[in-house]
Amino acid sequence: MSIPELGPFPDLDRVIHEPGRLMILAILNSVGEADFLFLIRQTGLSRGNLSSHTTKLADAGYIEIEKSFNERTPRTVYRLTASGRAALQKYRDQMGDVLAAMG
């Protein structure tokens, strides 16, 4: 069995390529905004992992984080930024090209 020639592999965005961060971006792209507990339930990530991944996404400018209080209960809400939406679309296009090249 021969391996097909894929050509140059695209320079994928490593911030997005990590599965946990890709999951977070995909969810936010679908729902618009989500709080911490919703993302915990949807992703299955631990609190620490979710916090770490959202910090990296925020540092890259892909999401914004809003912290507030509802009475005395802290609430953290995440939203995809315009640059995050564009980066996710670019990533999707690149992965589509890779998958198409595989036949």
| CATH code assigned at 24 | 1.10.10.10
Residues in the chain: 103
* Concatenated DSSP letters of 20-75: HHHHHHHHHHHHSEEEHHHHHHHH---HHHHHHHHHHHHHTTSEEEEEEEETTEEE
- Please give the structure tokens belonging to residue 1: 């069995």
Overall domain count for the chain: 1
Domain extent for 44: 14-98
Residue 1 maps to a domain: no
Q: Model confidence over 72-86: pLDDT tens digits?
A: 999 999 999 999 999
Contacts of 41 (CB under 8 A, 6+ apart): none
Residue 103 maps to a domain: no
Residue 6 maps to a domain: no
Q: Model confidence over 30-64: pLDDT tens digits?
A: 999 999 999 999 999 999 999 999 999 999 999 99
Residue 51 maps to a domain: yes
Alpha-carbon distance of 74 to 97, in angstroms, equals 42
DSSP-assigned beta bridge partners for residue 80: 63
Residue 2 maps to a domain: no
Q: Model confidence over 4-25: pLDDT tens digits?
A: 555 556 688 999 999 999 999 9
